Chains A and B, each alone.
Chain A
Amino acid sequence: MTEVLTGAQILCRVLVEEGVDVIWGYPGGAIMPFYHALPDHPRLRHVLVRHEQAAAHAADGYARASGRIGVCVATSGPGATNLVTGLATAHMDSSPVVAITGQVARPMIGRDAFQETDVIGITLPITKHNCLVRDVTELAQRAREAIAVAREGRPGPVLLDVPKDVQNQRTSYEPAGRETVPGRARSVPPCPPPRPLSEAAAEAARLIAAAERPLLMVGHGVILGDAYEAVRRLAERTGIPVITTLLGISAFPESHPLHLGMPGMHGEVHVNRAIQHADLIVGIGLRFDDRVTGNTAGFAPRAKIVHVDLDVSEIGKNVPTTMGIVGDAHQVVTALLAAVAPRDCVAWLEEIHSYARPRQERYRGDLSPEHIVAAIHDVTRDRGTIVTDVGQHQMWVAKLYPYQRPNTHITSGGLGTMGFAVPAAMGVQLARPHGPVWAISGDGGFQMNLQEIATMVQEKIPVKMAVFNNGYLGMVRQWQQFFHGRRYSATPIWSPDYVKLAEAYGIAGWRVERVTELEAVLAQATAEPGPALVEFVIEQEANVFPMIPPGATLSEPIEAEPVTTAGD
């Protein structure tokens, strides 16, 4: 049935048809027609954030937790530029976010109009696709395209810039048929696989059969491709030990005897040594990012590398590969399962375990990161989702929280965006209304987006917030301690009284300074029906060990505090 609608109404209709149920946004001049139409579409729940950056992170968190697109909306100019960090975060971590921005009316474009900014130009390198809609007659198609491009292939953010007068223009509107969107914009993978998957799988299976020290390294692609079961079966069929990258955490159950841990800059010594001694690495859905590889010249010197990725341009980008297989993680691992012969790696696994060292961290003070993470695990168990920020706490949680269920660990990996956890956790909470969601931050990252507590209160989003307070920008301070002669330049950071802050926002808040208080406070926070804030006062100069110094290979970890001379 054809109707005549405004551009703003068309946007809402397309979102409803595509199954969108939550929009994160902030109104303003150039997006007002959209906000005028919005109340007529009750299926679209709008969450008013306190800063557009939070809208983008929340949409990202929602997308990662739900496997569906996350939608954020902002006005032109400052509204649009405030989205940028969130879009770049989603871009680096392959998250399907759709951003809709208002733009000044077409006759004003290019005249430096009030709140005009070239958001298309600004976001070109940090979106998978972006598009200025020039006429209402193309709006529905562009909007459907934006959604399709965001979620298909390797997911990523897409931005749709809609001039105010286009939102007000009228045109006839046809609801979407189930036909595919005509493809002007397209997404990866652009190339047909170079040869049948079964052939590639057979070759990989021969490499697996011939290897004495094989490893599976799994990344975010396994979560995005819903390939947990297939990966677990592949590991069990071959006995190959499994390493999970930062974004691959929770792609493989940590209680599994084949699970090794996280590699790279803060990876455990035995995990990195396993990589350095391996003769075959099968990497699935990861980028071999520099935080994973250390100095690539010395990365896995004995290993052949089989790299499975949906994006052909990732294969061979960072490390030379023996063989690349282009495809969705689930498809490729399923093909591998059919091709591999059962085997075990008992001797190899024993060898790896013999590399393991007792944890070297020595925490002064009563309350250690280990205690806190263990206590949060006690109250969340297998029901919760943990969203972390960036820095020391992120590494502690990644290393210490024993993730069991798929996709229960969400963090900003590639971009390393401080301030991510609190707003992203709101998105995760709306995607998983029944599970507890914990946003864990440091005192630095928490103060970057704490304004979103107001959003949680207004929208009744019961995120539990944990703040590791050491009075420093801890990870930078750690680098200063190790590599800059302990010159703590600009890293001491003052915090407000978080309990009073919680009170000011009308939510429950606690300060925990002693291990003995942990259990009771976390139980109360968990029982709280609304949002809650728990501050953990930890040792000021606690460090994350082991650490591969920047530029070093995985064979050169720092396992304890180096002796430094102040001022050298």
Chain B
Amino acid sequence: MAQAVSILLSQELVVLERAVGELRRRNLPIESIAVGPAEAPGMSCLTVILSTDEAGADMTAKKLNKLSGVREVKRFPLDDGLACELALIKVRVTEQHRAELLDVCELFKATVVDETPDAGIVQVAGTGSLVLAFIRALERFGILEVARSGSVALPRVSADAGAATPAP
């Protein structure tokens, strides 16, 4: 089962490098990795989705929590949380398939964010598997380029706050 590990760390690149290096060294299968600014100033949030069991995620979280520059590490099984990924897909658009493309977009709650007579960019957000399914559905139109963000994740409000290990 996939496990989410969410790491609040200083936004310095060396700290990010330290955290990513720790993940690499522990040799765990990483499904997705995403980094963006955190709520707190000067901090980033690194979200990692691991294909491992709870014990594996727990050990990873503890090792990450030791690193200097890491403020807090949370982990939770993805089943107890929400994960979301953003993707931009540049796709070929022809007049005859335009309506069909819009139908597919509607099905996946995707929006067309840029368009020329020959091509368009559609934006979709959702779980990694939804994004993948959407990309597959677009293949028949002709995909020109794809940009995916990797997943961010939060534990569900109803779930326990995850196994948070706050700094002293």
Contacts and interface: CB of A to CB of B under 8 A. Distances in A.
Contacts of B14: 120, 124, 130-132
Given A125-B21, A313-B65, 5 more contacts: A130-B14, A184-B10, A311-B66, A313-B59, A317-B59
A190 interface: yes
Given A128-B68, A185-B68, A312 B62 contact: yes
A149 interface: yes
A530 interface: no
B69 interface: yes
A317 B63 CA distance: 10
The contact size tier of chain A is 20 to 34
A187 interface: yes
Interface string A316-356: 11000000000000000000000000000000000000000
A191 B65 contact: yes
B68 A149 contact: yes
A311 B66 CA distance: 9
A190 B165 contact: yes
Contacts of B168: 186, 190-192
B55 interface: yes
Contacts of B1: none
Most buried by A among B55, B62, B63, B166: B62
13 contacts: A124-B14, A125-B21, A149-B68, A184-B68, A184-B69, A186-B167, A190-B65, A190-B168, A191-B65, A191-B168, A312-B62, A313-B62, A316-B55
Nearest to B10: A184
Nearest to B65: A190
Nearest to B24: A125
B148 interface: no
Contact of A124 (B21, B66, B166, B167): B21
Contacts of A128: 68
Interface string B147-168: 0000000000000000001111
Interface of B: 10, 14, 17-18, 21-22, 25, 55, 59, 62-63, 65-66, 68-69, 165-168
A312 B14 CA distance: 24
Contacts of B22: 125
B65 A125 contact: no
Contacts of A192: 168
Given A128-B68, A185-B68, A186-B167, A313 B63 contact: yes
A186 B165 CA distance: 14
A448 interface: no
A273 interface: no
Interface in A120-134: 120-121, 124-125, 128-132
A188 interface: yes
Interface in A169-207: 184-188, 190-192
A192 B168 CA distance: 7
Nearest to A154: B66
A124 B18 contact: yes
Contact of B66 (A120, A121, A132, A188): A188
Contacts of A187: 66, 68
A313 B25 contact: no
Nearest to B20: A124
B24 to A, nearest CB: 9
A182 to B, nearest CB: 13
A76 to B, nearest CB: 17
Contact of B69 (A125, A185, A188, A316): A185
Nearest to B63: A313
Contacts of A130: 14
Contacts of B165: 190-191
Contacts of B59: 313, 316-317
Interface in A95-114: none
B10 to A, nearest CB: 8
A311 B59 CA distance: 12
B37 to A, nearest CB: 19
Contacts of A188: 66
A326 to B, nearest CB: 10
B69 to A, nearest CB: 7
A268 to B, nearest CB: 32
A313 B58 CA distance: 9
A152 to B, nearest CB: 11
The 8 A-B pairs of least Cβ separation, nearest first, read: A313-B62, A185-B68, A129-B68, A190-B65, A313-B63, A191-B165, A188-B66, A124-B21
B99 to A, nearest CB: 52
B66 A190 contact: yes
A186 B14 CA distance: 15
A313 B66 contact: yes
Contacts of A191: 65, 165-166, 168
A185 B69 CA distance: 6
Contacts of B55: 316
A29 to B, nearest CB: 24
A4 B133 CA distance: 64
Interface in A125-155: 125, 128-132, 149
B160 to A, nearest CB: 15
Nearest to B58: A316
Contacts of B63: 313
A388 to B, nearest CB: 28
B62 A186 contact: no
A313 B61 CA distance: 9
Contacts of B21: 124-125
A322 to B, nearest CB: 15
A184 B168 CA distance: 12
Contacts of A131: 14
Nearest to B167: A190
A190 B166 CA distance: 7
Nearest to B25: A125
